Amino acid sequence: MALPMLAAKRPLPAQVAVYAFVTVPFLALVAAVPLAWGWGLSWLDVALAAAFYTATCLGTTVGFHRYFTHGAFKARRSLRIGLAVAGSMAVQGPILHWVADHRRHHAFADKEGDPHSPWLFGTGPAALARGFWHAHLGWVLDRDLTNQRRFAPDLLADRDIRLVHRLFGPLTVLTLLLPAVIGGLATWTWWGAATAFFWAGLVRVTALHHVTWSVNSVCHMIGERPFAARDRSANFWPLAVLSMGESWHNLHHADPTSARHGVLPGQIDISAWLIRRFERAGWAWDVRWPTPERLARLAAG
Ligand SMILES: [Zn+2]
Ligand SMILES: [Zn+2]
């Protein structure tokens, strides 16, 4: 298994495939909206989908990722539990699996042992297509379970977190049924419950799945690399808003414990904004904000 040279260029067919994988399903979904509007999709469904997307995405980015995996800040117990629950409702796996997998990803980034690197099969077009599939979704289907005792002993020792971990099944049911219940009660129809279940339940979970997986796949293939990381992580600006700041992935690998990933001017980072709100409210402290000196040391070249 050869690692790519730092200056290797992706062949054009693979480049096109990556863009197609990112854009075609999204455009299909956008095309379905006017078709369904008025009979199978309402403003209520849109509002519910946006609200559940935002809450569960931030549960993943601020909670599972920046807080639980990397310790970018400290949090009071109620916030800690709230973030664990919100992140679980993104249906990306129970918290102990998620954190252990992600710590393993950083420990072996883009090398053998990384659970979801796109670079494990070589650099030819076929190898990259296979690598992209593996990094995006294939690894999720893999039956390997990362060793929690090795990669998440701190969370294993926490009763609250073990409980949230065990409640993953019920929380999955809740995250799908809650929009349906709200949609049904607001419209007082079964149809209102059904469309809310479809858009704010199923479509919302799927959309966030692909955004998160794109950080694993696209953000290790395409984008800018202004900071010195030991892997192929890159900043991919088109996903900055939908990923709530996580697609500034090059900085994240260069400085994993930083509470802010979008550190350069104009780099929107909604997760960092929320951490700042928590800090101001006194719910979070010891936040690892980046300093100009630290960023200068991390700059590439
Ligand atoms: Zn990464
Ligand atoms: Zn990370």
Decide if 7 is inside a domain: no
Domain assignment of residue 179, yes or no: yes
Instruction: Give the three-state DSSP class for 299.
Output: strand
Residue 143 falls inside a structural domain: yes
Give the residue ranges of DSSP H helices in 148-290. 148-151, 153-156, 159-166, 168-187, 190-196, 204-217, 249-254, 270-281
| Residue at 207 is within a domain | yes
Residue 2 domain-assigned (yes or no)? no
Report the Cα–Cα distance between both ends of the chain, in Å, rounded: 27
Closest-lying ligand to the alpha carbon of 60?
2
Which pLDDT does position 130 carry in this prediction?
87
Which one, of 98, 293, 94, 131, lies nearest residue 222 by Cα?
A: 131
Q: Which ligand is nearest to the CA of 103?
A: 2
Range of the domain at 33: 12-298
Q: Provide block-wise average pLDDT over 10 residues at a time, the chain (301 residues).
A: 49 72 76 84 95 98 98 98 98 94 92 87 85 84 84 96 96 96 97 95 92 92 91 93 96 96 96 98 97 92 72
| pLDDT score recorded for residue 18 | 64
pTM higher than 0.85 for the full model? yes
Distance from Cα 2 to the centre of ligand 2, integer Å: 24
Count the domains in the chain. Answer: 1
Ligand 1 mean position to 236 CA, how many Å? 12
226 lies in some domain = yes
4 domain residue, yes or no: no
Beta strand segments in 38-109, E:
74-75
Provide the pLDDT for residue 10: 65
Look at residue 3 and tell me if it is in a domain. no
Confidence (pLDDT) at 3:
44
Ligand nearest to the CA of 247: 1
Ligand nearest to the CA of 261: 2
Q: How far is the CA of 47 from the centre of ligand 1 (A)?
A: 31
User: How far does residue 60's CA lie from ligand 1's centre (Å)?
Assistant: 15
